[in-house]
Structure 1
């Protein structure tokens, strides 16, 4: 596979991963709200959330693997773990590393959910509220398509979806706030 193909596939997977992360975060917010979403009951929203989150993780892994094999990106193994050491746009690449590190923590704690207990799991899982904007900043700052109209529209839609989900959750009639 040519390096141009690796670069294009790596970029494309990063963009699709951001879309899946956006959907996952929004569904996670919706699941936590205690309300059904459109025609789906709460348990179905939770199942879709888990499926989309798993797909996002796989897409992030593919994004990183393809760019690791690409000679233009010049990624090293350490760049996946230690942020801000990268050769290409170290700040923006480092934010991608921070997002990946947070993603690993969220994956591990999700797998240990029953052992950790619900309260500890929720506290750690709140890291997704920082993971998503960090991943978005990585996409905008490190992406070679960052200033193209289509990408700005895509990023704007992602931001709008997450913002709308948060607004929906924070409304006064939020189920958990009903007794307050």
Structure 2
């Protein structure tokens, strides 16, 4: 049973990373006001939110399976306190940092209607720090995996997807952004 839990832990972590990558990509596209006839902005926002929730579910399963498995020394404390794990403290610590950042994002998102929009936006920007930390956690722990080439390729695909979305977001201006920039009311 322990090996099954290890496989479940690994699989749910991989799915969570892929979903998180999609969430970051959609976040970049939506914040850049990207839209098409087939994908209006509200559809991108809904997909962004739903994938974020799915990613959280898979991340929760990843953490539960990893701790319950018992194959490695991983405590509940090391899930939220960085760099205290008895197993691979640096790489597990990065996972804990990503979890802590994600918890801040989730809590402020749940309180979004009760906190100032600037505070929510500032904390939400942590997603752009959370994702590379989670990716580094994944890359660091892949070294001990027999499926290393496939997982490294997946990590590279995730990185390329985020870099491409970031270049679309920051490399172009939407008509809305351009109109605001040119507006005499901008001052």
The CA RMSD measured in Å over matched residues stands at 1.6
Show structure 1 runs of 4+ deviating over 6 A: none
- Structure 2: unaligned runs, 5 residues or longer: 182-187
1:139 is aligned to: 138
TM-score (norm. length: structure 2): 0.90
Deviation at 1:177, TM superposition (A): 3.8
Deviation at 1:73, TM superposition (A): 2.2
Deviation at 1:114, TM superposition (A): 1.1
Q: Does the 8 Å CA contact 1:37/1:45 hold for their aligned counterparts? A: no
- Structure 1: unaligned runs, 5 residues or longer: none
1:159 is aligned to: 159
- Counterpart-to-counterpart distance in 1, 2:87 and 2:16: 20
- Counterpart-to-counterpart distance in 1, 2:78 and 2:133: 16
1:168 is aligned to: 168
Count of residue pairs the alignment pairs up = 179
TM-score (norm. length: structure 1): 0.94
- Counterpart-to-counterpart distance in 2, 1:122 and 1:37: 25
Q: Which has the larger radius of gyration?
A: 2
- Counterpart-to-counterpart distance in 2, 1:82 and 1:148: 27
Q: Does the 8 Å CA contact 1:68/1:75 hold for their aligned counterparts? A: yes
